[in-house]
Amino acid sequence: MKYVMKLLMAFGLILASYSGTYSLAENPNGKFADPDEFPVPKNVPGLLFYIQRDPNENTICYQLNVDGQGKLSAKDPVNMFWIRYTDGGIRKELNYIQKKFAYGINVKEKGNSSYELRSVAYNKLPLSLRKDTRNEYHVYTSINKKECILSRVFIRIDGGTFWSPNVVYIELKGTEIATGRTITQRIKPS
């Protein structure tokens, strides 16, 4: 319970760009959109994972930060930006507050082309940026106690305010390393 509450509070910070409220009653269909119906970022070279949340489709993408020769930046290996689907799908950089308090990533080099990543909003969820057997980078984490390649984080919100949204659940989605199956885990407040 303590873990879930800390996670929810941290992801509340992630909603720093959230404006207004969104509730079941305001949805014209009378129900929430399925997270799998939200747009999946396409044509994003080196996409590692992305975050989506109510009240709109705008998406925060995390991609490898490489130079013109494809070499990873050891000092800053992850680049973050918005895809603003509500503005025609334009790409927009995160502002200072979003990077420092909501969507940013702290990086610690672990050696052997491996990095520990920690969200600035919630540093208790360990993420690992490392190469797979094909020499490609992925972000790994535990989803339902299984080692997975993280693909998406989704945050379901039903009302609340800018600083205190009503988080219904947080969903982690990824691919299990051992089986290749898609694994999801919903964390719900009690």
Q: Which domain holds residue 141?
A: 2-187
Per DSSP, what are the bridge partners of residue 150? 174
d(CA 68, CA 163): 40
pTM as predicted: 0.82
- 22-26, 109-113, 141-145: lowest mean pLDDT where? 22-26
Max mean pLDDT among 7-11, 108-112, 119-123, 147-151 falls in: 147-151
Average pLDDT, the chain: 83
The answer on pLDDT for 126 being more than 60 is: yes
| Number of folded domains that form the chain | 1
Per DSSP, what are the bridge partners of residue 79? 63
Structure confidence at residue 149 as a pLDDT band (50, 70, 90): very high
Q: To which residue do tokens 């489709």 refer?
A: 57
Q: What is the arithmetic mean of pLDDT over 138-162? A: 92
Q: In sequence order, what are the residues at sequence separation of 6 or more whose Cβ sits closer than 8 angstroms to the Cβ of residue 137? A: 46, 48, 64, 72, 77, 129, 130, 131
